[in-house]
Amino acid sequence: MGETFEFNRSGKPQTPGAAMAASDVKHWFVREVLPLEAMLMHFLHQNWRNKAEIEDLRQDVYAHVLEAAKTEIPDRPKAFLIATARNLLIDRVRHNQVVPIDAVNDLDELNIALDQPGPERSAIARDVLRRLQAAIDLLPPRAREAVLLRRIEGLSRREIAERMGVTENTVSDHITAGMRALADIYLGEAAELRRTP
């Protein structure tokens, strides 16, 4: 560690290569990035033809964003998220060599004001209950029942199994499928539902 240790007003220590605390990265990711998922999904759907790859693309974008945030948390999450997504799409097109002619739509035509503080955060906080209810309503019936019994009524796996007349493993399957679908609908809204096996 150097002898001179100064702080600037942004609160970031001026140590080169200093790593961000994992809890900071998590807080940032949950508060700033996840609320942008609907926008990200819109971007991916607009610009990528193969819908089967969208979930993988989203995952890749998030992984890259987290990787970058470990070193320094980006100032403008919206701009950063879209830039990351755009680079990934371009990489993927190059990597695939054979470029499907309309794999990538005009990336520049997307009209998103990147630097303005968006209404997403407050809109989400404001509508949490309404949107959660809507998301829950959209779950496949069995997954919905299992999720409600677990999260709302607080029943154990065994109690849910008894009530639904299925094995505990099946309850597990319903709940995990419900969790994933809930996240897709709640954050992304546009995502398709996964039916439980």
Partner 1 sequence: MSAAEINAIAARFLERRDLGQWSDADQAELDTWLNQASAHTAAFWRLEAVWQDADRLSALRSFKPQPANPEPRRQTWPILRRAVAAAAVIAAIGTAGAYYLFQPEGERYATPLGGREVITLFDGSQVELNTDTSVRIAPAKRMAWVEKGEAYFQIKHDAAHPFVVSVGDHRIVDLGTKFVVRDRPGRLEVSLVEGKARVEQVNDASKSAVLTPGDVVVATATELSVTKKTEKHLSSELGWRRGVLIFDYTSLADAVAEFNRYNQKKIVLAPDAPKHLTMVGTFPINDVELFGRVAGLVLKVHVANKADKIVISR
Q: Using CB under 8 A as the criterion, which residues of the chain lie in contact with partner 1 when the complex forms?
A: 1, 3, 5, 7-13, 21, 23-24, 26-27, 29-30, 34, 55-56, 58-60, 62-67, 121-122, 125-126, 128-129, 132-133, 136, 147-148, 150-157, 172, 175-177, 179-180, 182-183, 186-187
Residue 10 beta carbon to partner 1: minimum distance, rounded to whole angstroms: 8
Nearer Cβ to partner 1 (106/119): 119
Single out the residue of 158, 102, 144, 120 nearest to residue 38, CA to CA.
120
Residue 106 beta carbon to partner 1: minimum distance, rounded to whole angstroms: 26
Nearer Cβ to partner 1 (12/49): 12
Neighbours of 152 (CB within 10 A): 9
Nearer Cβ to partner 1 (24/162): 24
Nearer Cβ to partner 1 (39/187): 187
Q: How far apart are the first and last CA of the chain?
A: 55
Residue 141 beta carbon to partner 1: minimum distance, rounded to whole angstroms: 17
Residue 132 beta carbon to partner 1: minimum distance, rounded to whole angstroms: 5
Q: Distance (Å, rounded) from C-alpha 195 to C-alpha 100?
A: 30
Q: Please provide the DSSP assignment of 139-175 as one string.
A: S-HHHHHHHIIIIIS---HHHHHHHHTS-HHHHHHHH
Nearer Cβ to partner 1 (44/106): 44
Rounded alpha-carbon distances, angstroms, from residue 22 to 59, 66, 67, 107: 19, 10, 11, 32
DSSP state of 51: G
Residue with tokens 């070193």: 71
